[in-house]
């Protein structure tokens, strides 16, 4: 029997709550002095003492972790692996700031010449084969240069900065020039890696 998402989350929180809890906070209270002779002094002698705050004890408050808010900074694409940014608790408030920092995604892609699949992935069924002897390194370099130029133009267009201004110059010098807000994916930093003749392996960063 498979556990529901709620049950799985409960088990995870149960694991967090199984960790040793920190010491209880202290507070100062004035307590009767056990050594004072109340009959002789006809009064009550109090002394200051530091005692634990029992209202913060786990037996009173219950488990420390009962509900945790987790936010996702972005989504991983299909058939990809990498770092998934998560925000826990109060950190969810800064997710919008993270999305506005123009962080790029770095992809390493692999392909194979002469083969086509029904879903354009390596898991798909091969539906077509062809020769690829006409594909040369120079041809690939020219195609990548054309892609790089077209996307560089799009990068400037989506940046919403006057390219003739000092601000644009300073942002470009610091590598901060990028799309302002949401935009179409922009490819930057394309590079081809040498591999056997039948395989394609290149790396690129995407601004989104």
Task: Give the H/E segment covering residue 188.
Answer: strand 186-192
Q: Which of 33, 37, 77, 138 is catalytic?
A: 77
Q: Answer yes or no: are the C-beta atoms of 200 and 170 closer than 8 Å.
A: no
77 is catalytic: yes
In the chain, DSSP finds a helix count (H) and a strand count (E) of 6, 9
pLDDT range class, residue 46, cuts 50, 70, 90: confident
pLDDT, position 131: 86
Question: So what's the pLDDT on residue 137?
Answer: 80
The residue with greater pLDDT, 72 or 202, is 72
User: In this structure, what token pair is assigned to residue 123?
Assistant: 């898991």
8: CB partners within 8 A, 6+ apart: none
Over the chain, what is the mean pLDDT?
75
What is the pLDDT averaged over residues 83-94?
Answer: 81
Secondary structure element (H or E) that encloses residue 96, with its range: helix 95-99
pTM of the model: 0.50
Nearest to 204 by CA among 80, 116, 74, 66: 80
| Cα separation, 136 vs 140, whole angstroms | 6
Taking alpha carbons only, the member of 114, 148, 149, 151 closest to residue 133 is 114
Average pLDDT value for residue range 147-174? 78
């Amino acid at each position: 029997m498979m556990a529901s998402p709620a049950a799985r989350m409960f088990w995870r929180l149960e694991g967090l709550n199984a960790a040793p809890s920190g010491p209880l906070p202290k507070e100062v209270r004035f307590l009767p002095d056990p050594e004072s002779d109340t009959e002789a002094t006809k009064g009550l002698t109090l002394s200051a003492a530091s005692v634990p705050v029992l209202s913060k004890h786990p037996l009173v408050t219950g488990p420390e972790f009962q509900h945790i808010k987790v936010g996702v900074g972005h989504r991983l694409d299909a058939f990809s692996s990498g770092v998934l940014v998560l925000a826990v608790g109060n950190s969810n408030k800064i997710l919008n700031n993270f999305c506005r920092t123009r962080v790029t995604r770095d992809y390493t892609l692999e392909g194979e010449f002469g083969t086509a699949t029904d879903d354009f992935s390596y898991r798909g069924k091969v539906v077509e084969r062809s020769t690829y002897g006409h594909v040369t390194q120079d041809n690939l370099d020219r195609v990548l240069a054309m892609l790089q130029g077209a996307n560089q133009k799009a990068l400037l267009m989506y940046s919403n900065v006057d390219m003739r201004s000092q601000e644009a110059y300073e942002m470009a010098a610091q590598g901060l020039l990028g799309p302002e807000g949401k935009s179409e994916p922009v490819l930057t930093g394309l590079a081809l890696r040498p591999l056997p003749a039948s395989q394609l392996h290149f790396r690129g960063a995407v601004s989104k």
